[in-house]
């Protein structure tokens, strides 16, 4: 009988663990958000985190966007040529970049950079007693470490995605005009004629949510880390893995919600 029930018990443990973890992260996020509306506010720390996310992620996000736009133009041209629909390349590039690839790829890149960095920094502070030290110095660690980073991530990602959208479209334009034989004016006209405000706005909404997820998982993993250097390493890995998976899963949910008819 036990043998029959073992898999059921294991499944139960998994589900309970998952629910417990989700609840703990939700409470962590709620506490951090509550600190955003209660003084004191750490503007200097917000600015530092914002520059770290928005400015220093710019090169990696820009390169990713340019090459994605270029590849997208090449691939869609190859595919559409089979149906004599090459003219739709500009439309496909701009739609794919603004709605999906801009926010998702920028999110994944920033998850690798910022999620890991925040988890490592806060995790090291945890294992070296710096977080306890904050508490003894009349400073709430959630307010000081987590809240400014969450706000910075939520506001910085949409800005990065605006850059990614622009450069992604320009990457497609570059290949379209230099390699695929489109006229520059015609390519841009096709791009902007087809583009709707909702396409860009939906991408920016996704970006804000992804920014929140990345910084939340980075801070959460670091805050809860323990066990010395190995623990910090685990926190860093779990921050990147969890935020990447969540970005992809939440992207589906947001797409279903934003574009449901």
Instruction: Report the C-alpha gap between 169 and 182 in whole angstroms.
Output: 14
The whole-angstrom separation of Cα 203 and Cα 123 is 31
User: What are the tokens at 255?
Assistant: 């797409």
CB of 187 to other proteins, least distance (A): 47
From the CB of 13, what's the least distance to other proteins, in Å? 17
115, 217 contact by CB (below 8 A): yes
Determine if 137 is a binding residue for other proteins (CB under 8 A). yes
Q: Check binding of 225 to other proteins (CB under 8 A).
A: no
Residue 53 contacts residue 155 (beta carbons within 8 Å): no
- Transcribe 133-164 into DSSP letters: HHHHTT--HIIIIIHHHHHHHHHHHHHHHHHH
Between CA 108 and CA 244 the distance in angstroms is: 6
* Residue 127 beta carbon to other proteins: minimum distance, rounded to whole angstroms: 10
Question: Which of 83, 136, 197, 261 contacts other proteins by CB under 8 A?
Answer: 136
Point out which span in 59-67, 124-132, 192-200, 249-257 binds other proteins (CB under 8 A). Answer: 124-132
* Interface pick for other proteins out of 20, 55, 129, 193 (rule CB under 8 A): 129
Q: How far is residue 15's CA from residue 70's CA, in Å, rounded to a whole number?
A: 43
- Quick check: 130 binds other proteins (CB under 8 A)? yes
Q: How far apart are CA 85 and CA 83, in angstroms?
A: 5
- Asked whether position 124 contacts other proteins by CB under 8 A, the answer is yes
Q: Does 177 bind other proteins (CB under 8 A)?
A: no
What is the footprint of other proteins within residues 42-81 (CB under 8 A)?
A: none
135 binds other proteins (CB under 8 A): yes
In the complex, minimum distance from the CB of residue 168 to other proteins, in angstroms, rounded to a whole number: 34
Contact footprint for other proteins (CB under 8 A) = 40, 121, 124-125, 128-130, 132-133, 135-139
């Amino acid at each position: 009988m036990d043998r029959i029930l073992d898999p059921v018990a294991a499944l139960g443990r998994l589900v309970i663990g998952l629910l417990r973890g989700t609840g703990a992260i939700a409470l962590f996020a709620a506490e951090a958000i509550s600190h955003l509306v209660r003084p004191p506010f750490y503007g200097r720390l917000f600015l530092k985190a914002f520059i770290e996310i928005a400015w220093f992620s710019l090169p990696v996000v820009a390169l990713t966007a340019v090459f994605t736009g270029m590849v997208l133009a090449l691939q869609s041209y190859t595919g559409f040529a089979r149906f004599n629909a090459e003219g739709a390349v500009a439309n496909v590039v701009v739609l794919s970049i603004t709605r999906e690839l801009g926010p998702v790829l920028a999110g994944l890149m920033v998850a690798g950079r910022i999620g890991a960095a925040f988890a490592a920094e806060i995790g090291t502070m945890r294992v070296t007693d710096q977080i306890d030290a904050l508490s003894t110095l009349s400073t709430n660690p959630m307010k000081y470490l987590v809240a400014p980073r969450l706000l910075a991530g939520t506001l910085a990602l949409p800005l990065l995605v605006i850059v990614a959208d622009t450069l992604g479209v320009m990457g497609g334009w570059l290949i379209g005009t230099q390699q695929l034989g489109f006229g520059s004016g015609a390519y841009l006209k096709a791009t902007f004629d087809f583009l709707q405000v909702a396409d860009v706005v939906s991408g920016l909404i996704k970006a804000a949510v992804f920014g929140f997820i990345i910084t939340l998982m980075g801070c959460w993993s670091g805050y809860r880390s323990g066990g010395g250097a190995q623990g910090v390493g685990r926190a860093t890995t779990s921050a990147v893995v969890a935020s990447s998976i969540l970005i992809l899963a939440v992207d589906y949910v947001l797409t279903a919600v934003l574009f449901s008819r």
